[in-house]
Amino acid sequence: MVIEMTVALSSGEVIASDIYRAAVVNHAKLAYNGVAAWLDGAAPPPAPMASVPELAEQLRSQDRIAQTMKQLRHEHGALNLESSEARPVFDGDVLADLRIEKKNRAAELIEEFMIAANGVTARFLESKGFPSLRRVLRVPERWDRIVELAASLGARLPSRPDVKALDNFLVQQRDKDAARFPDLSLAVIKLLGRGEYVLESPGQTTQGHFGLALKDYTHSTAPNRRYPDLITQRLLKAALDGRPAPYSGQELGALARHCTDNEDAAAKVERQVQKSAAALLLASRIGEDFDAIVTGASAHGTWVRIIQPATEGRVVRGYQDVDVGDRIRVQLVEVNIERGFIDFARVAAS
């Protein structure tokens, strides 16, 4: 399935689009890190590029377009956030570290095109009178805490959720204190809450994606690994063939809830595996103190994230009067590798 887009180079706006089926032939297999290093001028072009004429020129053109599209999204209020996703690092067969994976230019290139393609797909289905699965991030319920965090850093946010004001604040903080910006990003991500899938019926308007500042957004570009994308591509094929939608509105609504629930379950398993890996790395460090940021505070417990290794654990003592975004000092008191438990106690400020 091809999503063809015409992008205005001066603005980054998608000014025309089309969707159709095609056979695609891959001429080179490239990796994010290799392309990113080349785009940044830190490494020579990856070897496969040499065998494909004009590929280098094409990639540089795509990079310029993607950066312009990114700028346009942020002008509309899309949030500048740095995720802090950790990946396991092995020395042979031995787990050696959990390392934060930072976004790079090559990843941004793909991300911008995917976001644009998902918007085109959502609008295409709407134009055909088809229902669709929309990916939404609702207006954050804990906006008041985001306002408090901004105030603690000398900034002022409006009392009502305002994505553009939040993004301006994030950009200012990134420029002012780049070293601590990932901590702030993590706190805001936690306070924004989770994304979910919802049904949008013809003529209906859903809430949209708060973090991306987009009204029309679906998931469609990864049908090989994500079920909502497969559903969307089935809808696209039916629309292109002039057939009725393969799902009723009731079925799509149930599938939206099912996909959201199972995404949450899969994320829980992933966190469990990561926590077990972190517990393994921390098993010899019982009694050590760590700087931490509070990532969760509710009746279910208080959670913090430490930097090295990058992982979360529960505060089992001294968690009173802390909230998401607070920076505290904690001591590691216990780990359980099999269950992925990492327990901390708050250390009193000296």
Q: Can you give the CATH number for the domain in which 328 is found?
A: 2.40.50.140
Domain boundary among 244, 273, 302: 273
Task: Please indicate, yes or no, whether residues 215 and 337 belong to a single structural domain of this protein.
Answer: no
Task: Please indicate, yes or no, whether residues 64 and 199 belong to a single structural domain of this protein.
Answer: yes
Is residue 281 domain-resident? no
Domain boundary among 233, 249, 273: 273
Residue 67, amino acid? Q
The length of the chain, given as a count of residues: 350
Domain that residue 28 falls in: 2-137+194-273
| DSSP output for 65-102 | HHHHHHHHHHHTT--------EEEEEETTEEEEEEE--
Is residue 297 domain-resident? yes
Domain boundary among 273, 300, 318: 273
Is residue 149 domain-resident? no
Is residue 332 domain-resident? yes
**C-alpha closest to that of 181 among 153, 205, 156:** 153
Distance CA 293, CA 88 (A): 21
Residue 105, amino acid? R
Is residue 151 domain-resident? no
Is residue 27 domain-resident? yes
Task: Please indicate, yes or no, whether residues 237 and 125 belong to a single structural domain of this protein.
Answer: yes
The single residue listed with the structure tokens 């995404």 is: 263
Task: Please indicate, yes or no, whether residues 104 and 15 belong to a single structural domain of this protein.
Answer: yes
Domain count, the chain: 2
Q: pLDDT in tens for each of the 350 residues of the chain? A: 999 999 998 999 999 999 999 999 999 999 999 999 999 999 999 999 988 989 999 999 999 999 999 999 988 888 888 766 778 888 888 888 888 777 899 999 999 999 999 999 999 999 999 999 999 999 888 999 999 999 999 999 999 999 999 999 999 998 998 877 887 888 898 899 889 999 999 988 888 898 998 999 999 999 999 999 999 999 999 999 999 999 999 999 999 999 999 999 999 998 888 889 999 999 999 999 999 999 888 888 999 989 878 888 999 999 988 999 899 999 999 999 999 999 999 998 75
The burial class, CB within 10 Å (0-12 / 13-18 / 19+), for 192 is buried
Is residue 207 domain-resident? yes
Is residue 59 domain-resident? yes
Task: Please indicate, yes or no, whether residues 321 and 205 belong to a single structural domain of this protein.
Answer: no
